[in-house]
Amino acid sequence: MTTKKRKITINAEPEGWPMDYRELNKKIRKAIRDGYTHLILQNVKGQRFIGAGIKEPVTIEIFGDAGLDLGVFSEGITAIVHGCSEYLLGNTLNAGELIVYGDSWDVTGMGARGGRIFVMGNGGSRIGIHMKEFKDKKPVIVYGGTVKQYCGEYMAGGMIVVLGLDFGDAIADRKKPVEREDIDPNKVKDIIDEKIVQSDLCGGIHGGTVYIRGDVPDHSLGVYAIKDEFTQEDKEILAPIIERFCELFNVPVDLIWKKKFTKITPVSSRPFGKVYTYTPI
């Protein structure tokens, strides 16, 4: 016999003014202690640290724009943002799934050690910096749109996928919460390859893999990053991740595979070895 999920709605703007982030997080933790497993946060206006350190397998649904460090140190939550997210989404994420129906800016997934992050729109700089993996713990970050400089910087493990899709007007109105049903799959278009990523892609990478849907100019690669062969095995690894993205954001799976992927890997697992190793004169 399964236990029915208990829902609770928390208004993050109860008196016409955004609630302090500390007060909101206290309410979230109290609701979880009281046995609620599906929390709906209304009118979120940039409150930070939502879901920080939570280990319980709860769902936190956010209507509005989440502040920085959403899901930091969390270990199994499902966070769904019907809006955008600020910096440090999934900072040091250990497990769970973070979903954003909008954009999420700089330093997403910094030091992530597990879990999956799906962002419908665009990202800023240093996406996935210092991501790592251990045995079967492999974090995944997927962006539907574009990312800026230093994506995959100093990666030690995990996977980043950037799809280069333009969702048209689905996320143009930032005041309107976006859900799957709001996304018209017929309006999803491809972005020009040269605009999908910016400079210093995977600079200092020494583990993990980055997949860019489209061609990547050589001058966009960072130090110690190389283009590698995209194989059938890579496609099989990507397939369930692509299917999950398409399920979340109402995108036809066939559209994704119409363009080739560029695979970026490290030239070495110890690219800075000679820099830090003492050599007698």
For 53-94, the pLDDT digits (tens) are: 999 999 999 999 999 999 999 999 999 999 999 999 999 999
**127 and 214 in one domain?**
yes
Beta strand extents in the chain (DSSP E only): 7-11, 38-45, 59-65, 75-82, 95-100, 116-119, 140-143, 156-162, 165-166, 189-190, 207-213, 225-228, 261-266
**216 and 258 in one domain?**
yes
Q: Is the pLDDT of residue 1 over 60?
A: no
Residue 214 phi, psi dihedral angles, 5° rounding: 125, 180
**70 and 5 in one domain?**
yes
CB atoms closer than 10 angstroms to residue 26? 12
The domain boundary, picked from 61, 82, 103, lies at 82
Report the percentage of the chain scoring pLDDT > 90. Answer: 88
**101 and 187 in one domain?**
yes
pTM of the predicted model as reported, rounded to 2 decimal places: 0.94
Residues present in the chain in total:
281
CB atoms closer than 10 angstroms to residue 110? 22
Instruction: Give the residue numbers spanning the domain of 257.
Output: 86-269
Task: Record the tokens describing residue 214, joined without a space.
Answer: 């489209």
**35 and 48 in one domain?**
yes
Do 65 and 82 form a contact (C-beta atoms < 8 A)?
Answer: no
Q: How far apart are CA 173 and CA 155, in angstroms?
A: 34
Number of compact structural domains in the chain:
2
